[in-house]
Structure 1
Amino acid sequence: MPVEAAAEAVVGDGGETAYLATMTGFATVDVSDPTDPTVLVDREVEIGDRPLSNILDVSVDGDRLVVAGPANFGYEPMGFRCYDVSDPADPIPAGEYETGYHIHNCYLEGDLLFVAENDFDTDTNALAIFDVADGIERIGSWSLLDRDPGWRDRPFLGRYLHDVYVQDDLAYLPYWNAGTYLVDVSDPTAPEYVSHVADTTLEAQQGVAREDAVYGLPGNDHYAAVDDTGDLMAVGREAWATSGDPDRPGGIDLYDVSDTAEPVHRGSIDPPRADDETYAGRRWTTSHNFEFRDGRLYSSWYRGGVKIHDVSDPSEPEELTWWRDADETAFWTAQVLEPGETFVASSTEAIPRTSLDGALYTFPIERGTTVVDDGFDADSPSNGSESDGADDSVPGFTGAAALVGGAAGLEWLRRRGNGNVQD
Structure 2
Amino acid sequence: MIRLPTRQTRRFKIVSLAAASLLLASVVTAPPGSAAPQSAPTGTADASNTIPGVDEIVSSPNLRQIANVPKQAPLDATNSDLAFQGKYAFAGNYNGFVTYDISKPSAPTVVSSVFCPGSQNDISVHDDLLFLSTDSPRSDDSCDSAQVPSTETVWEGIKVFDISDKANPRYIKSVQTACGSHTHTLVPAKDGRSVYLYVSSYGPRDTYVGCAPPHDSISIIKVPLRKPTEAAVVATPNLFPDGGYEGVPGQKSATSGCHDITVYPQKDLAAGACMGDGILMDISNREAPRVINRVRDTVNFAFWHSATFNNAGTKVVFTDELGGGGAATCNEAVGPNRGADAIYDITGRGDARTMVFRSYYKIPRYNADTEVCVAHNGSLIPVFGRDIMVQAWYNGGVSVWDFTDSAHPEEIAFWERGPISTDRLTFGGSWSAYYYNGHIYSNDTRKGLDVLKLTDWRTWTAERVRYREFNVQTQPRYRGW
| TM-score between the two structures when normalised by the length of structure 1 | 0.70
- How far apart, CA to CA, are the structure 2 residues paired with 1:246 and 1:253? 19
In structure 1, the partner of 2:303 is 220
SS in 2 for 1:41: strand
| Alpha carbons 1:6, 1:346 under 8 Å: kept | no
Unaligned runs of 5+ in 2: 1-68, 138-148, 189-194, 206-210, 421-427, 458-481
In structure 2, the partner of 1:366 is 455
Aligned residue among 381, 384, 389 for 1:293: 381
SS in 1 for 2:432: strand
| Alpha carbons 2:239, 2:291 under 8 Å: kept | no
| Alpha carbons 1:12, 1:62 under 8 Å: kept | no
In structure 1, the partner of 2:82 is 10
Work out whether 1:162 is the aligned partner of 2:233: no
| Alpha carbons 2:177, 2:233 under 8 Å: kept | no
- How far apart, CA to CA, are the structure 2 residues paired with 1:259 and 1:167? 17
Q: Comparing 136-145 with 286-295, which one deviates more in the overlay?
A: 136-145
- How far apart, CA to CA, are the structure 2 residues paired with 1:246 and 1:262? 33
| Alpha carbons 2:320, 2:339 under 8 Å: kept | yes
SS in 2 for 1:145: coil
- How far apart, CA to CA, are the structure 2 residues paired with 1:367 and 1:285? 25
SS in 2 for 1:143: coil
- Name the structure, 1 or 2, with higher relative contact order (CA <8 Å, separation 6+): 2
Q: What pairs up with 1:8-157 in 2 under 5 angstroms? A: 8-14=80-86, 16-45=87-116, 52-70=117-135, 74=150, 77-110=155-188, 111-118=195-202, 119-120=204-205, 121-123=211-213, 124-133=215-224, 134=227, 135-146=230-241, 148-149=242-243, 151=245, 157=253
Evaluate the alpha carbon distance shift between residue 76 and residue 345 of structure 1 in structure 2; reply closer, same or farther with a 3 A threshold: farther
Work out whether 1:194 is the aligned partner of 2:292: yes
Percent identical across equivalent pairs?
Answer: 24
C-alpha deviations, 1:389-422, integer Å up to 9, x for none? xxxxxxxxxxxxxxxxxxxxxxxxxxxxxxxxxx
Q: Which letter does structure 1 place at the counterpart of 2:413?
A: T
| Alpha carbons 1:164, 1:224 under 8 Å: kept | yes
**Structure 1 position 129, deviation (Å):** 0.8
In structure 2, the partner of 1:231 is 314
Larger Rg: 2
Q: Which letter does structure 2 place at the counterpart of 1:239?
A: L
| TM-score between the two structures when normalised by the length of structure 2 | 0.62
Work out whether 1:331 is the aligned partner of 2:396: no
SS in 2 for 1:43: strand
User: RMSD of the alignment, in Å?
Assistant: 2.8
SS in 2 for 1:265: strand
Evaluate the alpha carbon distance shift between residue 42 and residue 285 of structure 1 in structure 2; reply closer, same or farther with a 3 A threshold: same
| Alpha carbons 2:178, 2:219 under 8 Å: kept | no
- How far apart, CA to CA, are the structure 1 residues paired with 2:160 and 2:89? 16
Aligned residues: 329
Evaluate the alpha carbon distance shift between residue 126 and residue 342 of structure 1 in structure 2; reply closer, same or farther with a 3 A threshold: same
Q: Which letter does structure 2 place at the counterpart of 1:325?
A: R
**Structure 1 position 188, deviation (Å):** 2.9
In structure 2, the partner of 1:417 is none
- How far apart, CA to CA, are the structure 2 residues paired with 1:32 and 1:87? 17
Q: What pairs up with 1:307-322 in 2 under 5 angstroms? A: 307-322=399-414
- How far apart, CA to CA, are the structure 2 residues paired with 1:17 and 1:70? 25
**Structure 1 position 317, deviation (Å):** 2.1
In structure 1, the partner of 2:423 is none
Q: Which letter does structure 1 place at the counterpart of 2:263?
A: V
| Alpha carbons 1:28, 1:42 under 8 Å: kept | yes
C-alpha deviations, 1:371-393, integer Å up to 9, x for none? xxxxxxxxxxxxxxxxxxxxxxx
- How far apart, CA to CA, are the structure 2 residues paired with 1:282 and 1:105? 28
Evaluate the alpha carbon distance shift between residue 226 and residue 347 of structure 1 in structure 2; reply closer, same or farther with a 3 A threshold: same
Evaluate the alpha carbon distance shift between residue 81 and residue 270 of structure 1 in structure 2; reply closer, same or farther with a 3 A threshold: same
**Structure 1 position 273, deviation (Å):** 4.7
**Structure 1 position 85, deviation (Å):** 2.4
Unaligned runs of 5+ in 1: 46-51, 205-216, 349-356, 369-423
Aligned residue among 344, 347, 350 for 2:441: 344
Q: Which letter does structure 2 place at the counterpart of 1:165?
A: T
